[in-house]
Amino acid sequence: MNIVVTGSRGTIGKVLMKTLKKRKHTAIPLIHDEVDFNDQKVITAFLEKHQPDAIMHLAKAEEAITATLAKWAYENRKSYLYTSSYKVFSGKKVEGPFKVTDTPDGTDELALYKQRLEKVSFENNPNSYVARLSWQIADDPSGYGILMFLKAQMDKAKKVSVSENMYPSLMFIDETANALIDLVEKYQPGLYHLNQNDWYSFYDIVDYLIQEKGHDWIVLDPPRTIRKIEMLDNQKIKLKSLSEYGIKYHKEPEIFKTKKKA
């Protein structure tokens, strides 16, 4: 397929571009500071010129371009995918794991922005794929994701303090790239949650990154006990779960104890 990608120079976009090529697709970047994202005519002309079979919209962009991309794909019967975020949820009113049928309860700027662009996508293209992504595990701390967060903690406090009762939504970045391609190749349009975490705590994950992934620059404090479930329920798409990587549970998650009792 010919696939136009926005956000192609970003943390996930860079990996997606490589993965598309590996999977024999032609990836065409639509770069925000080379093309005027606010000019509908310019964007439409770009799409008419390249005639993509699919558009994958990852850029941290605004309503105008989002509406233009979604609408063009709908009118031309091409696939359109928008990457949203687990951040549409705050976990205050709705308890995780968040289902696709749950109404997002996030009220901060990022949550409202992502909720708005999901709506713009579906309003302009009822056949949209909207993928709510998890926090990303990249190979190094240079891009936005869990390693960047840990690096900032290390720079500030020289150690990292995380909870054994907090369950974040997490995906390895390569798996995210492959899952986004799988969606447009094999799945029906709709709203999807992409999360590989099958009940590993934040503490388990950081410990795994240090012990198994060689991030020995991280100094881990004893676990904290703050409870939060930020996981996305990913029933609709088949993903390799984190347990398949051989990550160890430091402490049995509460959910397993509840299941045994039932």
Ligand X SMILES: NC(=O)c1ccc[n+]([C@@H]2O[C@H](COP(=O)([O-])OP(=O)(O)OC[C@H]3O[C@@H](n4cnc5c(N)ncnc54)[C@H](OP(=O)(O)O)[C@@H]3O)[C@@H](O)[C@H]2O)c1
Residues that bind ligand X (CB under 6 A): 7-13, 31-32, 37, 58-61, 83, 85, 133, 135-136, 143-145
**Of 25 and 87, which has the nearer Cβ to ligand X?**
87
**Of 171 and 218, which has the nearer Cβ to ligand X?**
171
**Stretch (H or E) spanning 27:** strand 26-30
Q: Please report how many Cα atoms fall inside a 13 Å half-sphere around the Cα of residue 198, on the Cβ side.
A: 13
Amino acid making up residue 123: E
**Of 29 and 189, which has the nearer Cβ to ligand X?**
29
Give the shortest CB-248-to-ligand X separation in angstroms: 24
Give the shortest CB-168-to-ligand X separation in angstroms: 10
User: What is the SS3 string spanning 172-232?
Assistant: EHHHHHHHHHHHHHHCCCEEEEECCCCCCCHHHHHHHHHHCCCCCCCCECCCECCCEEECE
Give the shortest CB-251-to-ligand X separation in angstroms: 25
> What whole-number distance in Å separates Cα of residue 105 and Cα of residue 127?
24
Query: Which residue number has the CB closest to ligand X?
Result: 10
**Of 37 and 80, which has the nearer Cβ to ligand X?**
37
Give the shortest CB-249-to-ligand X separation in angstroms: 23
> What whole-number distance in Å separates Cα of residue 237 and Cα of residue 166?
24
Give the shortest CB-128-to-ligand X separation in angstroms: 14
> Would the CA dihedral through 47, 51, 52, 53 be positive or negative?
positive
Farthest-apart Cα atoms in the chain, separation: 60
Give the shortest CB-124-to-ligand X separation in angstroms: 17
Cα–Cα nearest to 42, from 31, 55, 28, 53: 31
**Of 171 and 247, which has the nearer Cβ to ligand X?**
171
**Of 37 and 167, which has the nearer Cβ to ligand X?**
37
